[in-house]
Amino acid sequence: MSRFLSLEAQSLAPYTPGEQPQDQSYCKLNTNESPFPPSPAVLRAINRAEIGKLNLYPDPDCSLLLDAAAAVYELKAENIIPGNGSDEILSFAFRAFCGAGKPCAFADVTYGFYRTWAKLYGLDANIIPLREDFTLAVDDYMDFPGTIFIANPNAPTGLALPRSEIQRLLDADPNRVVVVDEAYVDFGAESCVPMLYRYDNLLVVQTLSKSRSLAGARLGFGFGSPALIEDLNRVKYSHNPYNINRLTMASGAAALRDRAYFEACCASVQAAREWTREELEALGASVLPSRANFLFVKLPGIGGHELYARLKEQGVLVRHFSAPRTQDFIRVTVGSMEQMQTFMDAFTRIAEEVG
């Protein structure tokens, strides 16, 4: 670091993204990307005419995108804010709904960026442990007086809460915001979006990175009451009014409209996930019941880091988290069936060696 870095910045603990090798020599199952290309409708939307407008600023109101999202999610435009990935919306939420007298709470094993944002904004963060089996118990949050962040399905575990459990939190205290991060909801969990008209203290965050194959475009949404969305826009327009570029806006609208392609991709991932889970369990591995596009896996007789390293030696890249509660596990993105067969071939060799 330079001698000019502020004391506040020195204290930050930046989020560590998954490895992104550029040589494409790995079977890449480490960052929960879709194994499928974007919808053909996306390719048609990024046309010469749209590219020719890159000399002009994009629409800061994102009207085209909001109209498409409103139709898909059966909401009004005033209930939606788009972001540069769901990460940006979550960052806005930490800034908008937490601060002096407004602490935040989230699980000890969950999306690692939550800790980073809490530190970045100097927030009072309450880290609430998951239960021994990695489940999140909403009873542990009932008396918390601040803003609650819940990844559902959770990452890296893949476990999901039923919508009724989130409803219990919302009913318990209507004077606090509950943020439900649904990055992986399209792979088999219950979305809280249908509850938005009943609860003005609910913010739901989703992304087009996973189920709609747009990780490289960086696009996500926040869904909430008009007042909550107005709060988030207050942060947005204090940060970057033009947060969605023209090509991403066109891509997102097209991807949202192609429902058939979206559903086919999700179904393929779910089928590959269940096949892989059954194969892993047949080899004696422990696998949590995932409702996401990844699996959280432990193989008896070998530590998580060693398992990650030995898979990498065989050309398969997965994710390992070194914290005490997760160090024995690896997280495996569910790719195409061909990719999962490659993973299982490597995993089987290691399992046989471990005995």
Q: Is the Cβ–Cβ distance between 89 and 205 less than 8 Å?
A: yes
pLDDT band at 299 (very low <50, low <70, confident <90, very high): very high
Tell me the CATH number for domain 8-37+260-354: 3.90.1150.10
pLDDT in tens, 254-272: 999 999 999 999 999 999 9
Q: Rounded distance, CA 239 to CA 221, Å?
A: 17
Nearest partner of 221 among 191, 188, 258, 266, judged by Cα: 191
Residue 12 has a pLDDT of 87
Q: For the residues 122-150, what does the mean pLDDT come to? A: 97
Element at 181 (helix H, strand E)? strand 178-181
The pTM (predicted TM-score) of the whole model is 0.96
Q: Where in the chain is the domain with CATH 3.90.1150.10?
A: 8-37+260-354
Residue percentage of the chain with pLDDT more than 70: 99
Tokens of 133: 């089996």
pLDDT in tens, 186-210: 999 999 999 999 999 999 999 999 9
At 114 the pLDDT is 97
Annotation: CATH topology of 40-257: Aspartate Aminotransferase; domain 2 (3.40.640)
Q: How confident is the model at residue 18 (pLDDT cuts 50, 70, 90)?
A: confident
Q: What is the pLDDT of residue 24?
A: 64
DSSP string for residues in 288-301: ---SSSEEEEE-TT
Contact 302, 354 (CB under 8 A): yes
Considering the chain, tell me which residue range(s) the CATH 3.40.640.10 domain(s) occupy: 40-257
